[in-house]
Structures are given as C-alpha cells and as structure tokens.
Amino acid sequence: MRRQGSTNPAVIVHTQGSRTHQRGFVPINSLRQVTQMSKPVQDLRRDYRAGSLEADELPTDPLDLFQAWFEDARDSEQVLEPNAMAVATVSEEGAPSVRFVLLKSYDARGFVFYTNYTSRKGREVDATGRAALVFWWGALERQVRVEGKASRIAAEESDAYFEARPRGSRVGAWASPQSEEIASRDALKASFEAREEEFADKPIPRPPHWGGYRVELEVIEFWQGRSNRLHDRFVYRRAEDGAWEAPRRLAP
C-alpha cells in the first residue's frame, strides 16, 4: 500500500465555479489531467503512479485491507463519493445489469446497500441470490471487486437505517416506484406530495418494499494501478471451511 504522498502529481484540480449557473451543471471540483483535455477518446490514457501493493503487506483478513483503502478514499478530498459502488446483478435468463448504489455498512458478514425490493436489481438479487460489487477510487488509482451471495438483511436492521434517513428520503421511498415507467416528472412530484400529506405530523414507517441487501464476501480483489499497465492485483477467496485462503497475485 505504498503511496507517493497524498495526491497524484499527474492530477491538477480545477474548480469550475463559473459553470455552476448553467442548467444541469453540478458545482463540483473537476479532476483533469491538463494534457488530456480536448483529446479524442482513443487517446485518453493515464499512467498510474500513485502507489503499489506488495505481497508482504497483505493482511490475512482482506477486510482489514478494505478498511484501510476505504478510509484513504473517505479521507481524500479528491474522491467525491467514496462509498459509491457499482452493483452487478443478473437476470434469470443470464442477462447482466449494473448500476451504482451507496455502501451503507460493512463488516465480516458482508457489504450492505439499501434500495427498493421491487426494483430491477431487487428482483434479480431475490431471484438469483447473488451480486457483484466494484469500487473505483480514481484519485487513488484503486479498484476493489467483491463477489458473493446476496440476500435481504433483517427487517429490524432496515428499520433502524430507514429511521435515520432524512425525512425527504423517507417520503421518497414511498413515492417512487423505482424502475417502473412513470408518466412524467410532475406525476412523480404529485406522488411525493400526496405521501407528504399522508404522513404530515406522523411517523413515517419503512415501506415493506424498501430495505437493505447484504453481499457476502466470497471473493474480494484489490487492484492498484501501476506504470505501463503492470498493475498490482491480489485476490482473496474463501476455503471450504470459510477461512480466507492466502491471497494470490493475478496478472493485470
């Protein structure tokens, strides 16, 4: 996990404050390697030099390494959503699909995210019992991949998290039939307002169709970008007794 200082010398940070008033523009700092600007897509490339990952620094439990990397991402000012992860699911016919969600907790039992149980991802996790995750922390030139069984968490655990969400998000969970076609933004707004009225001055219970999934850690891979595409990759797999096998280095 060696790093050459906290920032990648190849990255220059621009604050695009002047664009914040344009319709649809989000006022964030954008990361650009100046030399990449205006290049055709096929010429976009970056040589990764931020760090390395060596066999002798790998812990026995990969969760310890995940925690160290997650904390680096969380504490980096250049990582916008450190807990954003893509979750891949597969339909019963074998068609994969992938989208981002937010990691909300992790421990030895697995990684938890929250969603609508009737959404496409919800239906696919329920039907197949499996999911895969990937994090990309660009400023740190790191990727983490997870594969494993996935299932709904206990209702009480979902209740506790739902209770902690801002009121607007709780109303939204009732108002949005996630993944269904809707007539218009106005229809969504009307649905939200009707729910707001319904729950005015009342506690908002967790909708039965909303809650968490836990993706168990069966396979977890750590990737650190290196120069000349000779990246470091180590994968941990569980043995039959559930213990972690020694990590193996994979070709990049």
Ligand X SMILES: Cc1cc2nc3c(=O)[nH]c(=O)nc-3n(C[C@H](O)[C@H](O)[C@H](O)COP(=O)(O)O)c2cc1C
Residue ranges binding ligand X (CB under 6 A): 81, 84, 97, 99-102, 113-116, 119-121, 178-179
Give CA–CA dist 32/225, Å, rounded: 17
Min separation Cβ 242 and ligand X, Å: 28
DSSP output for 56-115: GG--SSHHHHHHHHHHHHHH-TT-S-TTEEEEEEE-TTS-EEEEEEE--EEETTEEEEEE
DSSP state of 119: S
Min separation Cβ 200 and ligand X, Å: 25
Contact 50, 3 (CB under 8 A): yes
Considering the complex, state which of residue 12 and residue 102 has its C-beta at the smaller distance from ligand X.
102
H helices of the chain, in order, are 62-75, 120-128, 155-164, 167-175, 185-198
Both structure tokens of 155: 């209702």
Specify the 3-state DSSP secondary structure of 220: strand
Considering the complex, state which of residue 33 and residue 179 has its C-beta at the smaller distance from ligand X.
179
- Tell me which of 32, 74, 109, 229 is the catalytic residue: 229
Considering the complex, state which of residue 6 and residue 97 has its C-beta at the smaller distance from ligand X.
97
Min separation Cβ 115 and ligand X, Å: 3
Give CA–CA dist 78/86, Å, rounded: 19
Min separation Cβ 113 and ligand X, Å: 5
229: annotated active-site residue: yes
Considering the complex, state which of residue 30 and residue 97 has its C-beta at the smaller distance from ligand X.
97
Q: Annotated active-site positions, please? A: 229
